Amino acid sequence: MKNVIVVQARTTSSRLPGKVLMDLAGKTMLAQQLGRLKQVSRVDEIVVATTTNMTDDPVIDVAEREGVRWYRGSEQDVLSRYDGAARESGADVVVRVTSDCPLIDPGVIADVIEALTFDASASDYSSNVVQRTYPRGLDTEALFADTLFRVSRMARSASAREHVTHFILVEHPALFLVQSVTDAEDNSDLRWTVDFREDLELVRRIYSDLGLSERNVAYREIVQHMREHPEISKMNAGF
């Protein structure tokens, strides 16, 4: 069974344009995230799924420098982009992450994959976003490729086409077997995703404090550091 992480990435973010290419400890934010994704033990391949826009040519450049596969598709129909990336890579399991999560945790991703594949007859989809206990920015979803293809055939609304798992979680949850992955502690008040300049500055602070460019750090160490330094959380409070 081939497990493939598909990272959706584009430069035309409305809130912080070009964020995936912004500097984070000497590399682009996307490159830093790909470095963390390469540490996931249960993944066979990583695909950066970007758009056909010329403005996203630099995203392809990052993917090639980092030695990962890339796929180009519709900017607005992200579901079709995932469908194409999954088919081209020959995925059996598709792991969905977004490119604005440079603190993504390899161990958490492995747990989400395990929740999906432990008993395939009891699962179509698993994630840590149904019941939030992890910091925002560790968001991971996993689904079997045939589930993704079924959703791609059935989904019609603009929301379902743009937000890949909206059809599963919001429009037709009764059609799918969903596994929710939760943590023993609730740290969902922490925001590690990068949507605004303040978010980026917070992540830069964490990378600097903990030397994340030079070593792999599990998310619990990051949580502990932030709890010990509450002023860090205030950097993006209110978003």
Residues whose CB is less than 8 angstroms from the CB of residue 224 and which lie 6 or more positions away in sequence, other chains included? none
Those residues of the chain that have pLDDT short of 50 are none
3-state helix, strand, coil in the chain (%, to 5): 45, 15, 40
| The pLDDT of residue 239 | 78
Q: Which three-class secondary structure state does DSSP give residue 205?
A: helix
| The pLDDT of residue 14 | 86
| The pLDDT of residue 41 | 92
The number of beta carbons lying within 10 Å of the beta carbon of residue 1 is 11
Q: How far apart are CA 26 and CA 7, in angstroms?
A: 21
Is residue 200 within 8 Å of residue 206, measured between CB atoms? Answer: no
Q: pLDDT digit string (tens) for 50-64?
A: 999 999 999 999 999
CATH number, position 215: 3.90.550.10
| The pLDDT of residue 42 | 87
How many domains are contained in the chain?
1
Q: pLDDT digit string (tens) for 11-70?
A: 998 899 999 999 999 999 999 999 999 999 989 999 999 999 999 999 999 999 999 999
Residue 77 lies in domain: 3-236
